[in-house]
Amino acid sequence: MAARTKARKRALDVLFAADVRGESASDALERAIADGESPTNDYTAVLVRGVEERRARIDEVLSEYAEGWTLQRMPAVDRNVLRLGVWELLYADDVPDAVAVSEAMTLVTELSTDESPQFVNGVLGAVQRNKATLA
């Protein structure tokens, strides 16, 4: 498994834990580090902090493009995979769009429901097509 793929998986773990506990992603990251579960790849912290920093805008985008779904109604895994994917699409200049979508698809396929890959792909595809007007 590639280093950034592992970093994305670890970032998802942190974001998911923060979401479920109702705490900030930075607090969850700092707790993981304090508990000796420090991410081995710096990209994990970049992702977690990036999503947290832009979360209001990311959630706005998701609310607009997740037709028929509120953020609260989405499975927590899907919601956080989408947050990672949108952050990479809109704010990570060094990540090609196709990679951001593909990596999100891999995570959601492995970790969520059977319907989730189609949903996540549709939302991220729409975000990608409209990227120029969203960032």
* Pair 6, 104: CB distance under 8 Å: no
Q: Could you report the per-residue pLDDT of 62-87, keeping only the tens digit for each?
A: 999 998 899 999 999 999 999 999 99
In the chain the domains, ranked by start, together with CATH numbers, are 3-134 (1.10.940.10)
Q: Could you report the per-residue pLDDT of 10-30, keeping only the tens digit for each?
A: 999 999 999 999 999 999 988
Mean pLDDT of 83-105: 97
Closest CA to 65 of 134, 3, 17: 134
What is residue 114's three-state secondary structure? coil
- The confidence score (pLDDT) of residue 1 equals 62
> Rounded to an integer, what distance in angstroms lies between the CA atom of residue 82 and that of residue 67?
14
| C-alpha distance from residue 58 to each of 62, 91, 109, 114 (Å) | 6, 10, 21, 24
- The confidence score (pLDDT) of residue 33 equals 82
| C-alpha distance from residue 125 to each of 83, 121, 128, 132 (Å) | 14, 6, 5, 13
Closest CA to 120 of 132, 134, 106: 106
Q: Whole-prediction pTM value?
A: 0.94
